[in-house]
């Protein structure tokens, strides 16, 4: 892709920020240097992304007269914890970072979450810029201001809402993304269609091949559609008191599956893919939707090479126990995101354990869970 990036504005009162999607953005500070206010800038990345992409950001900053060190963290969900956040605090302290310092999160959703959380905490909140390098982070994690780290008791249990000053999604970074990670990102793309955009769902059905071939125009359309949808929801419900919870379609099941399988066994997107199918299946059980839409979802997940069934070795009772810890629950009732069909997700409270268990048990047709 060439030409000017697509720009989407996220308007949250005075805290308005742009999402820019295009090629060649990292090395051209003209696209993002106005989001850097002071002289202290820390680039936070991980061991895989830093050697591939950090030098371009660092050099672009040097061109603006800013000498920014790189803090390279271990990659992956197993390292998204308070120790990683502490490494960022130490690097900010070494830098002598003041209130106008800026953290640049260069990496996937894990780096965005850790670096954003550290920025939210340092001096009670300094600026940060999201530079997502995975498809999942471009379409979901980098937008909306949720930051945080995991605790042994569960995923993302420690965190803060902290909006970035800008989101810079450079499509060139996707060229180095491993295939399995790339495919996992489509789970969140499909989720966007599932919750509120039946036309986008149909478009994905027709464009799966182009997207999987990393066609720049198709990818740009998909990423921009997801960012517009998420930005709209975040603008209406920043703190997740209502509508924003819809973005968790498939996630209550998915988080339980991810944890029960052992972090690292399944990628976040893969677990979400399975979770969406379980949510669709539960919706049928509760009489909210018909099986035809569940089958369309299953077919679309398969077309993208995503898993479309729960790994058979995971026990339904253990998954249910994990789901009780879900952050979307209220003290008095479980809350799940289900759907009335493609493009029509809803928050549903008080679903009985027996119904959830029945949805969690493998269907005879799901041999091998794939």
**For binding to ligand NAD (CB under 6 A), which residues are involved?**
46, 48-49, 52, 75-77, 80, 107-111, 113, 133-134, 136-137, 140-141, 144, 146, 156, 173, 176-177, 181, 184, 268-269
Cα separation, 211 vs 207, whole angstroms: 6
Closest CA to 190 of 140, 235, 238: 140
Cα separation, 265 vs 314, whole angstroms: 12
C-beta of 64: minimal distance to ligand NAD in Å?
A: 23
Residue 35 per-residue DSSP state: G
248 is a catalytic site residue: yes
Closest CA to 134 of 253, 59, 45, 6: 45
48 is a catalytic site residue: no
| Contacts with 303 (C-beta within 8 Å, 6 or more apart), sequence order | 205, 208
User: In a 3-state reduction of DSSP, which class is residue 218?
Assistant: helix
C-beta of 133: minimal distance to ligand NAD in Å?
A: 4
C-beta of 1: minimal distance to ligand NAD in Å?
A: 16
C-beta of 287: minimal distance to ligand NAD in Å?
A: 30
Burial code (b: 16+ CB inside 10 Å, e: under 16) for 181-204 equals bbbbbbbbbbbbbbbbbeebbebb
| Contacts with 33 (C-beta within 8 Å, 6 or more apart), sequence order | 60, 61, 64
290 is a catalytic site residue: no
C-beta of 172: minimal distance to ligand NAD in Å?
A: 9
Cα separation, 246 vs 266, whole angstroms: 23
Select 134 or 225, whichever has its Cβ closest to ligand NAD. 134
C-beta of 304: minimal distance to ligand NAD in Å?
A: 15
Select 40 or 146, whichever has its Cβ closest to ligand NAD. 146
Contact yes or no for 91/42 (Cβ under 8 A): yes
Catalytic one of 71, 181, 188, 270: 188
Select 154 or 362, whichever has its Cβ closest to ligand NAD. 154
Query: Which residue intervals of 154-267 are DSSP H helices?
Result: 179-196, 198-212, 216-236, 251-261
293 to 148, 194, 277, 281, 288: CA distances (angstroms): 34, 10, 10, 10, 11
Nearest residue to ligand NAD by CB is 109
346 is a catalytic site residue: no
Select 46 or 260, whichever has its Cβ closest to ligand NAD. 46
Catalytic one of 80, 165, 191, 255: 255
Select 48 or 334, whichever has its Cβ closest to ligand NAD. 48
244 is a catalytic site residue: yes
Catalytic one of 191, 251, 298, 322: 251
Contact yes or no for 150/157 (Cβ under 8 A): yes
Select 269 or 341, whichever has its Cβ closest to ligand NAD. 269
221 is a catalytic site residue: no
Residues identified as active-site: 124, 146, 188, 230, 240, 244, 248, 251, 255, 268
């Amino acid at each position: 892709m060439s030409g000017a990036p697509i720009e989407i504005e996220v308007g949250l009162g005075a805290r308005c920020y742009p999402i820019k999607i295009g090629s060649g953005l990292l090395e051209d500070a003209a696209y993002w240097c106005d989001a850097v206010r002071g002289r202290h800038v820390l680039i936070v990345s991980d061991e895989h992304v830093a050697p591939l992409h950090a030098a371009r950001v660092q050099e672009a900053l040097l061109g603006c007269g800013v000498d920014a060190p790189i803090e390279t963290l271990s990659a992956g969900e197993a390292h998204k914890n308070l120790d990683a956040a502490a490494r960022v605090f130490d690097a900010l302290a070494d830098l002598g970072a003041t209130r106008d310092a800026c953290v640049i999160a260069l990496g996937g959703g894990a780096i965005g979450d850790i670096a954003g959380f550290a920025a939210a905490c340092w001096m009670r909140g300094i600026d940060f810029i999201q530079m997502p390098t995975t498809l999942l982070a471009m379409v979901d994690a980098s937008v909306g201001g949720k930051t945080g780290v995991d605790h042994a008791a569960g995923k993302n249990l420690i965190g803060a809402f902290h909006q970035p000053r800008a989101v810079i999604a450079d499509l060139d970074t996707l060229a180095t993304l491993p295939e399995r990670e790339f495919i996992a990102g489509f789970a969140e793309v499909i989720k966007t269609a599932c919750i509120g955009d039946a036309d986008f769902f149909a478009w994905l059905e027709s464009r799966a091949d182009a997207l999987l071939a990393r066609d720049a125009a198709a990818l740009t359309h998909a990423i921009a559609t997801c960012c517009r949808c998420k930005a709209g929801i975040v603008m209406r419900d920043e703190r997740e008191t209502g509508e924003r919870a819809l973005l968790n379609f498939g996630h209550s099941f998915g988080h339980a599956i991810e944890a029960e399988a052992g972090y690292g066994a399944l990628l976040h997107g893969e677990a979400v893919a399975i979770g969406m199918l379980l949510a669709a299946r539960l919706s049928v059980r509760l009489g909210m939707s018909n099986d035809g839409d569940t089958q369309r979802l299953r077919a679309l997940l398969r077309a993208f090479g995503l898993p479309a069934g729960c790994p058979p070795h995971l026990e339904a009772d253990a998954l249910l126990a994990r789901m009780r810890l879900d952050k979307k629950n209220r003290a008095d009732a479980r809350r799940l995101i289900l759907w009335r069909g493609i493009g029509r997700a809803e928050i549903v409270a008080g679903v009985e354990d027996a119904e959830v268990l029945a949805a969690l048990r493998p269907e005879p047709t799901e041999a091998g869970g794939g």
